[in-house]
Structure 1
Amino acid sequence: MSWTWFHKLGSPKWFFQFASRWSLCVFLGGVTLLVVGIIWGLGFAPEDYQQGNSFRIIYIHVPAAILAQSCYLGLGIAGFVFLVWQMKMAPIFIKSVAPLGALAALIALLSGAIWGKPTWGTWWVWDARLTSVLVLFLLYMGVMAIQNSLDDKVLADKAVSVICVVGLINLPIIKYSVEWWNTLHQPATFKLTEKPAMPIEMWLPLLVSSIGLYLFIAGLAMIRMQTEILNRERRSNWVKNEVLNRGI
């Protein structure tokens, strides 16, 4: 098995060139699917027989909640890669994606609170799922605080990598909290091993908006990573040539 792809991903130059070609396409594709999915869900999906129209916030809440966890999983993997192989792209990925994951977690918390008011009769309860997502948001904030406060970039990269790896323990707590404890939060909407519990007319726009949000964030992440690469590799000859060629 060839590991060429793995070493390429660790090269700032290779990734910068790759992202330059694909970031805008991925971003625009994500925007398109996200708009279609949200309009489809908010305007055309059938009303829920129990929750009425209040359930429609699911088309914002669920994609954001899933994405927040996926982003942190990516941070944890990147942190492990940096601690083991010292690849330059790992801390670049962490610094670029952490704010996006934090935003997704914040949207999940706020939209969940808005959804909880008509459903549970309260904006917030110290439910296991809600509390663990709040911890996820605080982990993101901690990662960003350390990266932006430490002048020693090597020390900052090592510190946030450790936090990202250790924080992975929170992800299974988020996922299985509704099964391990008696919570108000409903079970998972998406399950790879089971048929969706909701009708396809409700499920399809949710799938479209989720894919759209993933692509949207992926495009933003690639754009942010290009900026971070230029900042970190600014003394490299290839960056100087890139700046001259593009007139940046």
Structure 2
Amino acid sequence: MQSLNPALSTTPPKPSRSLHRFANPGRFLRLSGRVLPPLAVAGGVVTVAGLAWGLFFSPADWQQGDAVRIMYVHVPAAWLASMGYAGLALCALFSIIWRHPLADLAAMEIGPIGAAFTAVCLITGSLWGKPMWGAWWVWDARLTSVLVLFFLYLGHIALVRAFDNQERGFRAAAILALVGAVNLPIIKFSVDWWNTLHQPDTIHLFGQSTMSGSMLHPLLVCALGFTLLFAALVLARLRAAVMERRIRSLLMARVQRAEGLPA
């Protein structure tokens, strides 16, 4: 027999209830309003500290010289380009399967920021590749798959805004996000699957990294700072989108009341 005391009940909460607890616009705005300022400040401070450490105090590479310092921008941007698209795919799952009201808005705001970080990754990669490879661009497997990622971001941004019915745009963009997620493991393992000019990964989660600690530590600080800034930008844009939708709904309701139409 099921216990009548909720504290003693062993029945887990329904997923829909836990997933939708922050869907209320007022609750989300209150929570994000408290989180956003410290998140943005922390992101700015950590990013500046990491870049200063890497650009001015870390040693030059014995082969690449000072050109290696580009990695303190290039590598975090590359990580966040892939992580941002993984966020798009996750939002697509929440939208299609659980119909979470904020999932589509979050995906819409992640898209431009992810595209910007992917562009930074491609530009800094070209700047790094010129002195190393003697060319601004080569059709390397890693570079090509990141370029495809950039076009996937642009396609997602376009699809969200391509339909008069915004819900249709959200559905089409969610499908693209899920299909395009196939490109993420290609980006990750391209240097292992094919013979490429791009150097293999030097940082390993499960194993010893081959990068010197004097370079690895400022790189990790830069990655943390970029990640915090990415999250702060997405949160700020999502807050603006929620407030815009809320204001639009209030204005529409006011117009309907003025014209005597049912709400």
Task: Decide: shared fold, TM above 0.5.
Answer: yes
1:27 to partner: Cα distance:
0.9
Q: Does 1:56 align with 2:66?
A: no
Asked if 2 retains the 8 angstrom alpha-carbon contact of 1:11 and 1:89, the reply is no
Q: Which has the higher contact order (CA 8 A, sep 6+)?
A: 1
**Which blocks of at least 5 consecutive residues in structure 1 are unaligned?**
241-248
State how far apart, in whole Å, the 1-side matches of 2:216 and 2:39 are. 23
**Which blocks of at least 5 consecutive residues in structure 2 are unaligned?**
1-11, 254-263
Which residue, out of 138, 141, 145, partners 2:158?
145
Aligned to 2:109: 96
The one-letter code of the counterpart of 2:162 is: S
For the structure 1 residues 27 and 214, does the alpha-carbon distance in structure 2 shift closer, same or farther, using more than 3 Å as the test?
same
Which residue, out of 43, 46, 49, partners 1:36?
49
After TM superposition, where is structure 1 displaced by more than 6 Å over at least 4 residues in a row? none
1:148 to partner: Cα distance:
2.4
Q: Which moved more, 1:55-64 or 1:4-13?
A: 4-13
Q: Does 1:233 align with 2:246?
A: yes
State how far apart, in whole Å, the 1-side matches of 2:125 and 2:248 are. 45
The one-letter code of the counterpart of 2:203 is: F
State how far apart, in whole Å, the 2-side matches of 1:81 and 1:68 are. 20
- 1:149 match: secondary structure: coil
Aligned length: 238
Counterparts of residues 189-200 of structure 1 (less than 5 Å): 189-200=202-213
The structure having more radius of gyration, on CA atoms, is 2
Which residue, out of 123, 131, 139, partners 1:118?
131
Identity over the aligned pairs, expressed in percent? 41
Q: Does 1:47 align with 2:60?
A: yes
Which residue, out of 169, 176, 187, partners 1:156?
169
- 2:247 match: secondary structure: coil
Alignment TM-score, normalising by the size of structure 2: 0.87
- 1:69 match: secondary structure: helix
Aligned to 2:6: none
- The structure that is helix-richer by fraction is 1
State how far apart, in whole Å, the 2-side matches of 1:12 and 1:73 are. 24
1:235 to partner: Cα distance:
5.3
Asked if 1 retains the 8 angstrom alpha-carbon contact of 2:50 and 2:225, the reply is yes
- 1:8 match: secondary structure: coil
Aligned to 2:40: 27
